[in-house]
Amino acid sequence: MIKLVAAAMILVAAGGIASADPVDPTAVKNEDGKYFDKEGNPTYKITSDGTVDWYTYSGYRRYHSECHVCHGPDGMGSSYAPALKDSLKTMTYAKFLEIVASGRKNVTTSQENVMPAFGDNPNVACYMDDIYVYLRARSNDAWARARPAKHEDKPEAYTKAENSCMGTK
C-alpha cells in the first residue's frame, strides 16, 4: 500500500495526474519542519518509505480527536456533515481557516447544516494548519485511511508555537 501511495505521489509530482486541489500540493519549501507549496500554503510531505511530516501526523491525531465526530473517520463524511476529503479538493486554505474559525450555515428547504465556530477552542484553533495538512493529503489521495506509522520528529519551532498558543511554558 505504501509503495502504491509513493508511486502515486511521484506521478502527481511529475505532472502525470491532474490534481483537483486548487493549488498544486507539492512541497517546495521547508521552514523548521513545516512544508509549503508554491503559493505559500501549508502542505504535506510523505517520503517513499511512508514517513509523513510532523504536521500530517499531528493533523491525523487532532482531526480524530475533534473533527471525526461530525465529519466521519479519515475525512470521509457522515449523514450530517460533508466529507472534508472531498471538500478540500476545491476549498482554498483561506476558506478552510475561515470556516473552521467562524463556522458556517448552509440552510435550504430540504436541509440545515451548521458548522460551529472553533476559533475559540484551542484544541482546534492551535492546530488548524495540522488538520488542514492532513486533510489535504487525504484529499489528494497522498495518504490512505490509516494512522501514520512513521513520522518526522516534532520540530522545536512547532513545540514553541504550540506552547505559546496553548498558554503553557
pLDDT digits (tens, 9 = 90+) for 81-90: 777 788 888 8
pLDDT, position 109: 74
> For residue range 100-119, what is the model confidence (pLDDT) as tens digits?
888 888 777 777 778 878 88
Does the pLDDT at position 20 exceed 60? no
Of 38, 34, 50, nearest in space to 146 by CA:
50
Q: What number of CA atoms fall less than 13 Å from residue 151's CA on the CB side?
A: 21
* Lowest mean pLDDT, pick from 1-5, 37-41, 45-49, 150-154: 1-5
Q: What is the mean pLDDT of residues 21-29?
A: 79
